[in-house]
Structure 1
């Protein structure tokens, strides 16, 4: 495995880590995204918490940018696409994605993807309830504990973040890509999500995400 700036080469599979919190794999013409949590604002409103719906608008704009920029054949969502119970934003998401007729959308189900099977059957997505292999990549929502030595697990669920501390005790929290041997945990794509601060070990690599670029922090 070779790392150069924001690119990983894993057994000849090239993965570009994007500041939009996604991964682009040119050989597969595929984009990988984790933890969109679309519809979460409406879910909170149903519980009496006044979260405005436009909080998700930037997520759709970012997704549209990625599709127009990279022209993928396939977009893989690594779980927690939609936040729990059905609400009207599910239709908003499907109508939005339906305009990209040249793209195939796949969903590897996560713990928040709990909509009835019938709803998924009539959606834009091809659904996978088990880890999915794409070349030498294994796609899952939660990080896999056992991974073959020649496979790389792309996953989400954790919402990884890193806290950087300056000399004057100032600090900043960033979303990040978290690489450990045979596993790459993607940041949460959705804007309405939290961060889990990661504690890297000696063999881990962290790629912090700013508005301008992805930056290797530890190697």
Structure 2
């Protein structure tokens, strides 16, 4: 199953196996932690990683926009990974991608990595801190806010799932009482293991779709 509807703070949210959330009531698509240009940063440092990560991630966004036709795309922090110049190939690709989706309002809740590049120069609205979207608060860091239920990123949550004798470490959506975390959207992103706990809802992202994970 590539999508799964859940209720959070009284609202229906659609989780997608491409590591995104669609909030149909407001036609808002949410993603987090793309870390665009991370491959280029690694290659400049002499670390051999394949190219094409930015193109692949933009293509996945294209598919999500085509599927949900959102009015707004909100990135919950860390759209970019590191410093770049106007001559960086990935910058030109992202700017061209933004122009193709000129009818979609795209905003970034600034994350800790976004300080390294002027994201506004890509044609994307940058919002510092947090944004109130009742009953939610959109933020980068997974912190409780009195104004509403926090939807956030930053952690790159993951969970280990057993399949017989095999163990699979998978990206995951995590929902606690006051804070929800999206899996990192970017291809070249790691995972931070989260614990299963009472009252915590975890939905793992597998190659075959979404898998709810029960408490041990």
Q: Secondary structure at the match of 2:137?
A: strand
Aligned length: 210
More divergent stretch after superposition (187-196 vs 93-102) = 93-102
Match of 2:149 in 1: 152
Shift of 1:135: 2.2
Give the equivalent residue in structure 1 for 2:51. 53
Report the alpha carbon displacement of residue 183 of structure 1 after superposing the two structures with TM: 1.3
Q: 1:205-216 to 2 correspondence within 5 Å?
A: 205-216=201-212
Contact 1:33–1:77, Cα closer than 8 Å, also in 2: yes
Report Cα offsets for 1:108-152 as digits up to 9, x if no partner. 011110135xx33432211111111112111111111x333x721
Partner in structure 1 of residue 106 of structure 2? 105
CA distance, structure 1, for counterparts of residue 59 and residue 108 of structure 2: 19
For the 8 Å contact 2:9–2:149, the answer to whether it is kept is: no
Gaps of 5+ in 1: none
- Alignment counterpart, residue 197 of structure 2, candidates 192, 201, 205: 201
Structure 1 stretches (4+) deviating beyond 4 angstroms? none
Secondary structure, counterpart of 1:216 in structure 2: strand
- Listed as ranges, the gaps of 5+ residues in structure 2 are none
Aligned to 1:184: 180
1:184 to partner: Cα distance: 1.1
Contact 1:6 1:216 in 2 (8 A): no
- Give CA-to-partner distance per residue, 1:1-36, whole Å, 9 cap, x none: xxxx82222343211110010000001101000000
The TM-score normalised by the length of structure 1 is: 0.90
Is contact 2:94-2:122 (8 Å) kept?
no
From the superposition, tell whether residues 176 and 15 of structure 1 become closer, same or farther in structure 2 (CA, over 3 Å).
same
- Taking the aligned partners of 2:8 and 2:52, their CA distance within structure 1 comes to 38
Alignment of 1:24-43 (within 5 A): 24-43=22-41
* Secondary structure in structure 2 of the residue aligned to 1:112: helix
Deviations 1:42-65, CA, capped at 9 Å, x for gaps: 011111112222133221111000
Q: Distance in 2 between matches of 1:159 and 1:182?
A: 18
Q: Would you say 1:138 and 2:137 are equivalent positions?
A: yes
